[in-house]
Amino acid sequence: MSEDSDPRETGDLVAPPAKIPVPDDVADAIRTLIRWAGDDPTREGLLDTPQRVARAWREYCQGYADDPAVHLSRVFEEVGGYDEIVLLKDIPFQSHCEHHMAPIIGKAHIAYLPSNWVVGISKLARVLHTYARRLQVQERLTAEVANCIWENLRPQGVAVVIEASHACMTARGVRTPGVGMVTSRMMGVFKDDERSRREVLALMGMRGA
């Protein structure tokens, strides 16, 4: 690779994103938090921390600048008559709870039963990540993903199951590590037909399905 080539064009390297400017009031707020926590924001190891934290949170919450419906706008009708469940399982994600701004780390299973068309499978993950990159509660995240697919793809059914651990519970408060939370949203045939619901849960690998 020549010195003049752009690593983003060659695919050999991933260029870091340009550093966005951090407003003074945002940096000052983080310094205040550091002082309140008991440390000195002027010591060497913390001098650049306000800018790093601010940029990290802009990245964590980049879902606010994204419209999840856009990812479902392009569909495909030529699917060879396929009319069975489409499932994308074990999608890893990270979010932050709106109560303590602590990490939520987990995986999601997203399924739908097509009507007349399907969508590229990566788009299901993009919908999840758009909503996850906002301050969240797991229950709402589950419902938002399911509702977005239901409203934009108009399938026969949608099933979303999310399994996650919450640092607001594992690292503070009750401090109980190893605990997972499971939420689900069933719509259409997966809600109304018990056989279809059992089938999709079995495909997801959910125990008791």
- State the catalytic residues: 97-100, 138, 166, 168
Q: Cα separation of 106 and 184, whole Å?
A: 14
- Interstrand relation of 135-136 and 118-119 (parallel, antiparallel or unpaired): unpaired
- Phi, psi at 55, each rounded to 5°: -70, -35
Only one residue has tokens 């020549």, namely: 2
Among candidate residues 95, 62, 64, 90, the one with its CA nearest the CA of residue 167: 95
Which DSSP state fits 136? E
The beta strand positions in 37-180, using DSSP E, are 75-76, 86-97, 103-113, 118-119, 135-136, 157-166
Taking a C-beta distance cutoff of 8 angstroms, is the pair 150, 69 a contact? no
CA-based angle 125:132:166, to the nearest 5?
Answer: 120
CA-based angle 100:181:60, to the nearest 5?
Answer: 45
